[in-house]
Structure 1
Amino acid sequence: MNFPVFISDPLAILAYPADSSAFYLAVLFSSLLLFYKSKRGQMNVLLFIQSFIFVFLIASFLYEFMEFAWYDNPFSFGYMILLAILLILFLTAQGRLGSHTLISALLIGWSLGIYILMTIQPFVTVFGYMVTPWFVGLFFAVNFTHLILNQRKSGYIERN
């Protein structure tokens, strides 16, 4: 995490490699920033997340393809297939599903796919960062809860 180096010279931190804890911290801070901007009305977070998912899926697919084709990484193949399925789902369902439902479905599908890969492979990486089961479980729980709350608010689920 190298906080002392970051405080003394912020640009020097770019020379230090990061680990998974930095990745998790970045996801947390990004989520908090998006939540804050959404509540203040400063950003259309739904449009941002939908655009981010599209870019993330393509970039991840290309990264995993390079890992598989150029570096002969056999563990990239499963994640590459998962990303291809999610990308096809995103492109075909984009006009048919509501944005909240599509985003939640893709994020839930991603976390379930990663969890399945964790049971098959010894490890799963996202852009070279090793992903742990607690992160995937938390990611799934947050997105599943968001999907249920959004559908309940929209009136899709009837209350007894």
Structure 2
Amino acid sequence: MSTTIILHITSLIISFAGGFLLFYILSHEQHKFRMKAMEESANTIILLVLYIQLAKVLLKVELFLSDPIAVLSYPSNAASLYLATVMVIIHLWISNQKKREISTHSILSLAVIMIGSSFVYEFLQVTWFNNTLSWKYLFVLFFTLLGYLVVQNRFNPLQQILFIVFIWGAGQLIISITLPFITIFNYMISPLFILSIMLFAIVSIFGVQRKGVN
């Protein structure tokens, strides 16, 4: 395993650990709720990682059949992330139809943890890897977290999710105009992916609101 891959994995581990810590510090909920939310979010993140690996295989199925080690060792790309995101959404939707365990509080907690983890990751990109392109996204993430602190006790969970997604998404779209590319955890992503997340969040939240689920 190359030094670059080791550093990337290390930075991801530190980033998610920092993201969970930031959520625990920033959340005003009781300790029991925060721990439960962190457990649910960890399960979803692990699910995403597994589906990224599955997506990588599906997108290179011919090569996988002839040389599976080459595919599994090959870094995943944005296409793998797109497909994995869709698979996670479908997985969670099916699971929720059976158990009704997913709430707006769960989604909000996951959103804050992902934003917090991204903030730590981009901070490491600037400080460890001298990646000056990360500064703009770092500021977007900082203001998203700051905004969450401001609205946490003023808005309900649905409104908080919309606020976080809008600030993060709008920030990403703005910097996409000034930068050659935008990233999420070093995945080079399309602005259309950001727009899709924003649209999906809005549609899903209004759907949940109509059903009166908290």
The amino acid across from 2:184 in the alignment is V
Which AA in structure 1 matches 2:164? L
Q: 1:147 to 1:50 in 2, by over 3 A?
A: closer
Q: Does 1:104 align with 2:165?
A: no
5+ long unaligned stretches in structure 2? 1-55
Whether 2:198 is the aligned partner of 1:140: answer yes
Distance in 1 (CA, whole Å) between partners of 2:153 and 2:69 is 42
Query: What does residue 178 of structure 2 align with?
Result: 120
Maintained 8 Å contact 1:104/1:146: no
Residue 44 of structure 2: aligned partner: none
Inter-partner Cα distance in structure 2 for 1:46 and 1:80? 26
Change (3 A) 1:137 1:21: same
Q: Give, in whole Å, the separation in 1 of the partners of 2:65 and 2:92.
A: 24
CA deviations over 1:21-58 (Å, ceiling 9, x no partner): 01111111111122222232342342322221121111
- The 1:142/1:42 distance shift into structure 2, 3 A limit, reads closer
User: Whose helix proportion is higher, 1 or 2?
Assistant: 2
The amino acid that maps onto 1:143 is A
| Residues 9-158 of structure 1 mapped to structure 2, 5 A cutoff | 14-148=72-206
Report how many aligned residue pairs link the two structures.
154
**What secondary structure is seen at the aligned counterpart in 2 of 1:107?**
helix
1:118 CA drift (Å): 0.3
Distance of 1:136 and 1:121 partners within structure 2: 15
CA contact (8 A) 2:115 2:145 kept: yes
How many Å apart are 1:148 and its aligned residue? 5.0
In structure 1, runs of 5+ residues without a counterpart are: 155-160
State, as a whole percentage, how many aligned pairs show the same letter: 28
Q: Separation in 2 of the partners of 1:111 and 1:21?
A: 19
Q: CA deviation at 1:65?
A: 0.5
Q: Aligned to 1:2, what secondary structure does the other structure show?
A: helix
Larger RCO, structures 1/2 (Cα 8 Å, 6+ apart)? 2
1: CA distance, partners of 2:207 / 2:106: 20
Q: Distance in 2 between matches of 1:65 and 1:112?
A: 20
Q: Shift in Å at residue 19 of structure 1?
A: 0.2
